Structure formats: structure tokens, C-alpha cells
Amino acid sequence: MTNRRVLLRNRPVGEPKPSDFEIVDAPLPEPQEGDILVRTIWLSLDPYMRGRMNDVKSYTAPVELGQPMVGGTVGEVVKSRDAAFTPGDFVLSYGGWQAYHVAKAAGARVGPFGPLKLDPQAAPISTALGILGMPGLTAYVGLYDIAQPKPGETVVVSAAAGAVGSVVGQLAKIRGCRVAGIASTKDKCEYVLKELGFDACVSHRVPDLAAVLRDACPKGIDVYFDNVGGDVLKAVLRNVNPFARIPLCGIISQYNATEMPPGPNLAPVLVNRVTIRGFLVSDHADRLPQFLADCSRWLREGKLKYREDIVQGLEKAPEALIGLLRGQNTGKMLVKVGEDPTRR
């Protein structure tokens, strides 16, 4: 048995290319005392992976050339050298772009990336990478803890049909807010309006987004959950209310940029006494139990919905990540790496 892996071959300049990755077969790793050997079923693809391909200092180290790309995974334990796990258990871990990996089970800290034993009866196991996983927790913490929206306020979220944005809008509706999404295409807007119950949705591919947002948010914007930065943030700032809150979650419009574009004019931040706050989900593992309790219940009750955008086979991961950064996904982007025995 061999272990198929996707390695980082070159550091991309601008948009990544398939040749920046290399697919290799390696021997199966052997678990040591306190380890588990996991067969990957689902691999999460996330925008932060683009940053890990650069050799720059950030909040975590870059992927080294010749090493497998990193990523959250859901898999099945095939060998265990830890009393807490037995073969056949399903587990959330940080296995990266490979068919098998060894995870430290003993004494490991349980955060948004596990390792965490999953109950397939409670929710589909892939949701541990999406609505009940890191993207869901990001939405929950960024909206409820940082923006703290009040019933009746207007919440705007960009990348609204994506993994984080789709949850932000639904959580804002549960709180009793009016919600407007920003997404690229008509199909994505229809999805967030009809399936997710947002009140409005506008495309960012219009000549005057600020004017379109003014019509979509007649009472102004109290919370802007920013997933993209750049021109979209610029347009939102022209519509903010006094004391608006802006959790800065992501800047996907700049992840492939080769030079930094001129920044937005922050005058409305000053005159409206707006709070802008950057946050990283990895600082908020303490909110995981409350997030899981609330969101699992809302999922069971049908108050939260989700979509998965699935590509088949580890070999398709590079193309799929390139597509995600272009906005080709709707919902949580996942790679199906191996057979899921819970979904026959």
C-alpha cells in the first residue's frame, strides 16, 4: 500500500498553477506509541492555503518546498496506538493533502482542527470541515463575539455563498437582523436568497457597488463581515452607520496579488466611529463547545443549511484550490479523497 501525496513544488507568483504542485506516491507512515494512522476521506480546501504557499512570515509558518500541502481532514482510523481510538473511528485532524497520515492522539489539544472523534450519527462527518468546523466557528466568533449584532440591525457579508459567509448570514438571521449578501454570480445570489433566507444579495461585479449597496441597505450598514477586502470593502465603507462594527476575517481579493493595491479611504471609519477588528479563529478554541452546541442544534432544527462543493480524487485538489481563489465554488469546498462508509 502506498500513500498518495500532493507536494508543494514551486512557490507561485500570482495565481497558482498546476505545475506548482507535484503528485507522488510514498510508503505508508507507521504510527508510534500515542499515534493513530488515519485514512483520509475528506480534505478541506480553504483560502488560507494560498498564503501558506508563500515564503513570508505570517501567523504560521509556510509549507516547505517538497512537503505536502497542509489542510484539515476527516478520515477513518486504520491503526491505533492510543487507547482513546480504535480502528473504524472517524476523526477530524490536520492531515494535509495526502491519502494517509499519522496524527498524535495522546494529549493533543482539541481545537478547530482536532484531533476529535466524530459521531456519524450526530451529523454527516464532512460537516466537521465546514458548518460544524473551522469555517462555522469563524462565522460564529466573528459575528456573535466580535460584531455583536442586535436584532433589527443590518448585517452585510461578502463571499456570501462560501463556507464562512453562508453561515454568517444565517446566524445573523437567527439573531433577528436584516442580512444582505455580496457574491459574484446570479446563481450564488439565488442560493443565498432562496435556500439560506438572506433578505438581499448583490453582485460585486457591478460598476458602482456603493450605490447598489445603498439601495439594498436603505437603513445603512451596522455590521460588515469582511471576507474579501479591496474594492468591496471600499464600497461598504461608503454606507456604514455610526458605530458600525467590521470584523476583518479575510482579504481573498489580494491573496494572488503580486503587489499591494492602494488601500481604501478610511475617513468614514473615523467620522462614524466604526470598530474594525481583525481576528483569527485559532485564538477562539474556547468557543468551540458553545458553537457546537448551538450550531448542531440549529442544523438539526433546519435553521441552518449548508452546501458542499465536492471534487473527486486527491489529484484534483490543485485545480480545485485554483478555482476556489477564482470564486468557482458555492459552499464548502471539499476533496473526496477516499470512500466514505457513512454515505453509501
Residues that bind ligand NDP (CB under 6 A): 46-48, 135, 138, 159, 161-165, 183-184, 188, 204, 227-228, 232, 249-250, 252-253, 279-281, 324, 327, 329, 333
**Closer to ligand NDP by Cβ: residue 77 or 320:** 320
Cell of 116: 476529535
Nearest distance from residue 165's CB to ligand NDP, in Å? 5
Taking the complex as a whole, the smallest distance from the CB of residue 203 to ligand NDP amounts, in Å, to: 8
Residue closer to ligand NDP by CB (options 40, 138) is 138
β-pairing, 332-336 with 308-312? Answer: parallel
Contacts of 301 (CB under 8 A, 6+ apart): none
Nearer to ligand NDP, 36 or 53 (CB): 53
CA–CA separation, 20 and 69 (whole Å): 11
Closer residue to ligand NDP, CB minimum distance, 85 or 113 = 113
Q: Are 45 and 334 in contact (CB under 8 A)?
A: yes
How far apart (Å, rounded) are the C-alpha atoms in residues 151 and 142? Answer: 17
In the complex, the smallest distance separating the C-beta of residue 278 from ligand NDP, rounded to whole angstroms, is 7
Minimum separation from the CB atom of position 161 to ligand NDP (A): 6
**Side chain identity at 40, as an amino acid letter?**
T
Give the residue with the Cβ less far from ligand NDP, 31 or 230: 230
Give min distance, CB of 105 to ligand NDP, in A: 25
Q: Which residue has the cell 471539499?
A: 334
Task: Enumerate residues 6+ apart whose C-beta is below 8 A from 195.
Answer: 305, 307
State the DSSP code for 152.
T
> Minimum CB separation from ligand NDP for residue 251, in Å?
6
Helix (H, G, I), strand (E, B) or coil at 51: helix
Q: Which is nearer to ligand NDP, 98 or 227 (CB)?
A: 227
Least distance to ligand NDP, CB of residue 45, Å: 8
Cβ closest to ligand NDP, residue 48 vs residue 298: 48
- The angle at the Cα of 287, spanning 296 to 244, to the nearest 5 degrees, equals 100
Strands 240-248 vs 100-104: parallel, antiparallel or unpaired: unpaired
Whole-angstrom Cα distance, residue 46 to residue 248?
17
